[in-house]
Amino acid sequence: LPQVVIIGRPNVGKSTLFNRLVGKRLALVDDQPGVTRDRRKGLAGLASLEFEAVDTAGWEDEDEASLPGRMRAQTQVSLRDADAALFVVDSRAGLTPLDEEIGQWLRKQEVPVVLIANKAEGNSGQSGILEAYSLGLGEPIPVSAEHGEGVADLYSALFPLISDRAEQLELEAEQAAAIAADKAREAAEAGEELEEHDPTEPLSLAIVGRPNAGKSTLVNRLLGEDRLLTGPEAGITRDSIAVDWEWTDPASGEERTIKLIDTAGMRKRAKVVDKLEKLSVSDGLRAVDYAEVVVLLLDATRGLEVQDLKIASKVLEEGRALMIAINKWDIAEDASALFNGIRAALDEGLAQLRGVPLFAVSAVTGKGLDPMLSAAFKLREDWSRRVPTSALNRWFDDALAANPPPAPGGRRIKLRYITQVGTRPPRFVIFGSRLFDLPTSYERYLLNGIRRDLGFGAVPVRLTLKSPK
């Protein structure tokens, strides 16, 4: 995007103009150290004209005496990458020596300048506007940044200065996007066979939930007497251990290894049930780091609570495959209504929980545990799945055809190509140009589509949009 720098002495209304141009779009603070530390940048729009606006404010409270020198330094730096400058003066206050100094300096620069006589709402500031002619920077444009007046004239003045540049930059960006998409396509096709997942590998499973949900009871039930302690292992901290345990899937007769990630005290405590020693939820969440699949245990006597949703979001944020089990099913009242209620709350509540596998279990009687474990293996497969590039792009083309990306300012945002760059959790990158204009709702449309149409269900999927610079 072309860059337009807003210049002027303190209090002429630079920031107001900046805010007017940038509107509700995100304003980014420039993070370069040194003189430029106070520049604000934002994506600005004036009718169909788009540019990056740079506000050079930020030294308004500086010591008066040192101001001219500091300003010159600031202005010089900010003009370096600028395609045009908006030089703002205060039409009510009239010209000051500082305005004249900046004007003189600007006249010697190569960058095209639009002179703005600000604070000219209504018919005010006439004499200041006349005075501004004397700067020798062409016709001043009367504007009221605060009231939004004169914006059309500002557009007419700025358009010829940067529209060519905008077009050129856009063309370059599109060419770069096409090249990057080609490269990604080649890389994806070459690396298609990468990191195939082996479903017979031990499954790392963590059980999380609020205190008293029944985690310890469940772990003891699962491990029974013949548990085998394997930890501590590399990558697992001292306070977490992994317990390897052979589980036979009664449905298929297959023997599988499950590596139960156990946090400090969970087993021990179950023996000596001391309610005062309950681990906090965050202690339990550490196990999530080492797990592939995480079971969030709910308490049937309490239902789904806010705290549970928080834990669930946390697990998905960490990129782990999540399933939910309603424990204490043996003592649940009105069981089917409870199950349906929780199912509905998950599907209609947080979007990322839609379709998350839900089970009813009892850690005490063992009911529902085998189907849950069997589903955990299936869930890990989804979490580890790589979608063939051709199938992925067929889906992508259909998704774009069914609901084309928007065309702000009459120019369509171009999305070119999608590739899966990782698994566990599945990660996708979409290449395109003009992505800064893509609404988050459209991004969500694509993300939801990937999850729904490509069979990822509630597996956390990561989507990144890339436009090569």
**Residues within the interface to ligand GDP (CB under 6 A):** 209, 211-217, 270, 278, 327-328, 330-331, 362-364
Least separation in angstroms between residue 379's CB and ligand GDP is 21
* Total residues found in the chain within this entry: 469
Does 278 show up as a binding residue in the annotation? no
**What 3-state class would DSSP assign to 461?**
coil
Q: 23: annotated binding-site residue?
A: no
Identity at 253, one-letter amino acid code: G
Q: Which amino acid is at 77?
A: V
In the complex, the smallest distance separating the C-beta of residue 17 from ligand GDP, rounded to whole angstroms, is 58
Q: Is 327 annotated as a binding residue?
A: yes
For ligand GDP, the closer CB: 263 or 419:
263
Residue 262 labelled as part of a binding site: yes
**CB closer to ligand GDP, 212 vs 230:** 212
**Both tokens assigned to 31:** 């993070």
Residue whose Cβ sits closest to ligand GDP = 214
- In the complex with ligand GDP, the residue whose CB is nearer, 20 or 314, is 314
Q: Nearer Cβ to ligand GDP, position 267 or 434?
A: 267
* Degrees to nearest 5, angle at CA 352 with 399 and 342: 125
Cis? peptide before 408, omega within 30° of 0? no
Instruction: Report the half-sphere exposure of 261 (CA within 13 A, side-chain side).
Output: 27
CB of 21 or CB of 243, closer to ligand GDP: 243
Q: Distance (Å, rounded) from C-alpha 16 to C-alpha 7?
A: 12
Q: How far is the CB of 342 from ligand GDP (least distance, A)?
A: 16
Q: Say if residue 11 carries a ligand binding annotation.
A: yes
Is residue 282 a known part of a binding site? no
- Distance between first and last Cα of the chain: 10
Residue position matching structure tokens 């001292």:
238
**CB neighbours of 404 closer than 8 A, spacing ≥ 6?**
412
* 369 within 8 A of 375, measured Cβ to Cβ: no
443 is annotated as contributing to ligand binding:
no
Measured between alpha carbons, how far is 63 from 11 in angstroms, rounded to an integer? Answer: 14
Least gap, CB of 42 to ligand GDP (angstroms): 49
In the complex, least distance from residue 210 CB atom to ligand GDP, rounded to whole angstroms? 7
Residue stretches of the annotated binding site for GTP: 8-15, 55-59, 118-121, 209-216, 262-266, 327-330
Which residues sit in the known binding site?
8-15, 55-59, 118-121, 209-216, 262-266, 327-330
